[in-house]
Amino acid sequence: MRNESLTPEAVPSALAGFTPPAPSFPTSASFRHPAGTLVDKYGRHVTYLRLSITDRCDFRCSYCMAEEMTFLPRAQVLTLEECLRIASAFVDLGVTKVRVTGGEPLVRHNAIWLLEQIAGLPGLKELVITTNGSQLDRFSPALRAAGVKRINVSLDTLRADRFREITRVGDLRRVLRGLDAAQAAGFERIKVNTVMMRGANDDELIDLVEFAVERAIDIAFIEEMPLGEIGHARQSTYFSSQDALARLQTRFLLLPSTETSGGPARYWRIPGSATRVGFISPHSHNFCDTCNRVRITARGDLYPCLGNNDAVHLLPLLRAHPTDDGPLRAAIMHTMGIKAKGHDFSSQMDAPQVVRFMSMTGG
């Protein structure tokens, strides 16, 4: 990973020994569009922040994590107040949508407090969350009350034994109870996210869409991405969106839709149902041209591109300037200049050049 650090500055003693020095960046307005948004050097407006609030998770999904994971020590993880500072700086700089993710965001103590605070930031239009669903039976009403309008729930299979195999430790019944609770809580939209894996769940795509139709929720199928060394050859499990669409068309009439949820998914509608069927196709349909997002990891690394290793370390900067957000804003603007034009996942499937796990970057 590239360390953009330039000027060493004092960091709290709790961080001594492992935290890179606080970088400094010239204050520059060159990456602000006259409309007030952040704009990168390819002219793409960045209006969407994905904020990972923990690297920890109560599951160990085989495509996301290694079986044995080492998680970050607490001092290297952003505090919730630091998460809020970052979200607030981005919203001030024109970001209108924040997604809280992880690891599993709902295993972070006091996550609801953070969501309430972010929801109240002036200028924010949309606060959303991505969760594995394991805690939704407890937290759905509080999430809704905090101001979360839409949630994504990851669900790769409807079979309990497979669910346990894919997540290594998860309990399908609990996630289904969580989905019931989320539906009862009245979110504006609920979307199930399914990572497609040949030989693991590709025979369930039709069942999963039927499940979504019955519940009148959306579903998006995701092509597996080569992030982190996870112990299986991804090339062998890769299943494309085209194959998925062809399979679904044997059962459903799918009409292409121009609707968007502000992300890379392309949607199809099933006539007579409220369900939208989406495909997120980082391999077969590169969406980098319209990329509008950046990501913050749980340790405060700002990644302007999911498929690239360039990052700026915000944590030492935040701790070196506890009451001044100027350096933070300057670092964010600087990042607009290093946002890569695009990723190249297809050539990296079995030996990923992006070595961090998806649970670090939050999807």
Which residues of the chain form contacts with ligand SF4 (CB under 6 A)? 57, 59-61, 64-65, 102-104, 132, 154, 358-359
Residue closer to ligand SAM (CB basis): 38 or 151: 151
Separation between Cα atoms, residue 356 and residue 230, nearest integer Å: 10
Q: How far is the CB of 198 from ligand SF4 (least distance, A)?
A: 18
DSSP state of 32: B
- Whether the CB-CB separation of 4 and 313 falls below 8 Å is answered with yes
- Whether the CB-CB separation of 123 and 161 falls below 8 Å is answered with no
Residue closer to ligand SAM (CB basis): 101 or 275: 101
- Whether the CB-CB separation of 154 and 130 falls below 8 Å is answered with yes
Pick from ligand SAM, ligand SF4, none: which does 224 bind, CB < 5 to 8 A by kind?
Answer: ligand SAM
Pick from ligand SAM, ligand SF4, none: which does 222 bind, CB < 5 to 8 A by kind?
Answer: ligand SAM
- Whether the CB-CB separation of 317 and 327 falls below 8 Å is answered with yes
Residue closer to ligand SF4 (CB basis): 333 or 354: 354
Run of H or E including 137: helix 136-146
- Whether the CB-CB separation of 300 and 82 falls below 8 Å is answered with yes
Q: CA–CA distance from 10 to each of 6, 300, 319 (Å)?
A: 13, 17, 9
Residue closer to ligand SAM (CB basis): 101 or 335: 101
Q: What number of residues does the chain have? A: 363
User: Which residues does residue 194 pair with via DSSP β-bridges, in sequence order?
Assistant: 221
Does residue 120 have a known ligand-binding role?
Answer: no
Residue closer to ligand SF4 (CB basis): 31 or 139: 139
Strands 150-154, 255-257: pairing is unpaired
Does residue 288 have a known ligand-binding role?
Answer: yes
SS3 35: coil
Run of H or E including 244: helix 241-249
Q: How far is the CB of 279 from ligand SAM (least distance, A)?
A: 12
Pick from ligand SF4, ligand SAM, none: which does 60 bind, CB < 5 to 8 A by kind?
Answer: ligand SF4
Residue closer to ligand SF4 (CB basis): 23 or 300: 300
Phi, psi of 266 (to 5 degrees): -105, 135
Q: Closest by alpha carbon to 30, among 44, 19, 18, 40?
A: 40
Q: How far is the CB of 160 from ligand SF4 (least distance, A)?
A: 16
Pick from ligand SF4, ligand SAM, none: which does 193 bind, CB < 5 to 8 A by kind?
Answer: ligand SAM
How many Cβ atoms are within 10 Å of 5's Cβ, its own excluded? Answer: 16
Separation between Cα atoms, residue 302 and residue 293, nearest integer Å: 11
Pick from ligand SAM, ligand SF4, none: which does 101 bind, CB < 5 to 8 A by kind?
Answer: ligand SAM
Pick from ligand SAM, ligand SF4, none: which does 301 bind, CB < 5 to 8 A by kind?
Answer: none
Separation between Cα atoms, residue 63 and residue 100, nearest integer Å: 20
Q: How far is the CB of 43 from ligand SAM (least distance, A)?
A: 27
- Whether the CB-CB separation of 264 and 287 falls below 8 Å is answered with yes
- The encoded tokens of residue 236 equal 């062998």
Q: How far is the CB of 160 from ligand SAM (least distance, A)?
A: 18
Q: How far is the CB of 263 from ligand SAM (least distance, A)?
A: 12
Q: Which residue is nearest to ligand SAM (CB)?
A: 363
The residues of the shown chain that bind ligand SAM, judged by CB under 6 A, are 57, 63-64, 101-102, 104, 130-132, 154, 193, 195, 222, 224-225, 227, 358-359, 362-363
Pick from ligand SAM, ligand SF4, none: which does 227 bind, CB < 5 to 8 A by kind?
Answer: ligand SAM
Q: What separation, in Å, do the N-terminal and C-terminal C-alpha atoms of the chain show?
A: 18
Which residues define the annotated binding site for [4Fe-4S] cluster?
57, 61, 64, 288, 291, 305
Which residues define the annotated binding site for S-adenosyl-L-methionine?
63, 103, 154, 225
Which residues define the annotated binding site?
50, 57, 61, 63-64, 99, 103, 130, 154, 191, 225, 288, 291, 293-295, 305
Which residues define the annotated binding site for GTP?
50, 99, 130, 191, 293-295
